[in-house]
Amino acid sequence: MSLKEILAQASSEKWAVPHFNFSNLEILKAVVEAARETKSPVLVGTSEGERNFVGLPEAVSMVKAFRESSGLPIFLNADHTKSVEAAKQAMDAGYDSVHIDLSALSFEENVRGTTEVVKYARDKSSEISAEGELGYLRGESKIEKKKIEIRPEDYTDPEEAADFVKKTGVDRLAIAVGNVHGITLDEPKLDVERIKKIRAVVSPEVALVLHAGSGIPDEDIKTAISAGISNIHISTELRAEFREELEKSLHKKGEAEYAPYKILEPVVEAIKQKAVEKIELFSSANRM
């Protein structure tokens, strides 16, 4: 099944395809093991920083190898790509999906750049799924002891969203509905009515994407899915597992342990458990 077909199924059956970010083999391996155990489709992604570290062809090859060995629908997304050029590079390298994020630009510039990326994707392959973003998402994928203020103009406007989708032809739309990247001092408050309004006016073939799923209470995630979200991003919570478990493991194994695979084994296990938890929350288990 293609990513587009899976997203269409998720939208009609009211569940969400998980999107997990990775920047090394261990996190990717943990996510794939979680998907294997739960029989869930997954989208794995690299931001520009993450893919510069891993390498584009390297990321494509690793995901391809895991897809073949697991027999699972695992797709690779170029997350938060900030230029048309970088989006084209990711598609040329073999990414299955691209997220062009020109949300910091004006509506017209965002439409122009996103349309160019969608056209490039279509010319390349009908299988590539293209995501655009409208509205402004604050924060970074980390744990921060501060509050992040969301301004009224940050939120995605439903009418503008319908217009954006019509003009650009995107397959997925990332929206700003009270979500912020990272885990901050105050719990994000999702504007569920806004999700419903956007869902009602945007073409039903277009999947609505909730970025920054880390830190949002489970009940709110479920409400967001029933309001029309069919793709949810998790990054910070996996990063936190990586860092915290690595510190614990180094401490526990002591100075005598030098084998990276022994030090990293409990780290992979902890990330896997976190991914399983999210897959169950999104109801994407046993869908394939």
- Report helix angle 84-93 to 107-124, nearest 10: 20
Q: What is the DSSP secondary-structure string of the chain?
A: --HHHHHHHHHHHT--EEEEE-SSHHHHHHHHHHHHHHT--EEEEE-HHHHHHH-HHHHHHHHHHHHHHH-S-EEEEEEEE-SHHHHHHHHHHT-SEEEE--TTS-HHHHHHHHHHHHHHHHHH-TT-EEEEEES---EEEEE-SS--PPPGGGSPPHHHHHHHHHHH--SEEEE-SS--EEE-SSPP---HHHHHHHHHHS-TTSEEEE---TTS-HHHHHHHHHHTEEEEEE-HHHHHHHHHHHHHHHHHH-TT---HHHHHHHHHHHHHHHHHHHHHHTT-TT--
Nearer to Zn ion, 242 or 249 (CB): 242
Task: Give min distance, CB of 45 to Zn ion, in A.
Answer: 9
Nearer to Zn ion, 176 or 225 (CB): 176
Task: Give min distance, CB of 239 to Zn ion, in A.
Answer: 13
Nearer to Zn ion, 231 or 249 (CB): 231
Task: Give min distance, CB of 21 to Zn ion, in A.
Answer: 8
Count of residues near Zn ion by CB under 5 A: 1
Applying CB under 5 A, the span of 111-119, 207-215, 249-257, 262-270 interacting with Zn ion comes to 207-215
Nearer to Zn ion, 234 or 285 (CB): 234
Residue nearest Zn ion, Cβ-based: 211
Active-site pick, 79, 96, 171, 220: 79
Nearer to Zn ion, 30 or 210 (CB): 210
233 is in an annotated binding site: no
80 is in an annotated binding site: yes
Give me the amino acid identity at 55. Answer: G
Nearer to Zn ion, 90 or 267 (CB): 90
| 220 a catalytic residue | no
Among 4, 199, 211, 278, the residue binding Zn ion under the rule CB under 5 A is 211
Applying CB under 5 A, the span of 18-26, 58-66, 209-217, 257-265 interacting with Zn ion comes to 209-217
251 is in an annotated binding site: no
Q: Are 63 and 44 in contact (CB under 8 A)?
A: yes
Task: Give min distance, CB of 252 to Zn ion, in A.
Answer: 33
Task: Give min distance, CB of 126 to Zn ion, in A.
Answer: 25
Q: Are 81 and 90 in contact (CB under 8 A)?
A: yes
Task: Write b or e for each residue in 194-218: b if 16 or more Cβ atoms lie within 10 A of its Cβ, otherwise e.
Answer: bbebbbeebeeebbbbbbbbbbbee
Task: Give min distance, CB of 181 to Zn ion, in A.
Answer: 6
Applying CB under 5 A, the span of 1-9, 50-58, 127-135, 211-219 interacting with Zn ion comes to 211-219
Residue 4 engages Zn ion in binding (rule: CB under 5 A): no
Task: Kindly list the residues in this chain that would bind Zn ion in the complex (CB under 5 A).
Answer: 211
Catalytic residue positions? Answer: 79
Q: What are the binding residues for Zn(2+)?
A: 80, 101, 133, 181, 211
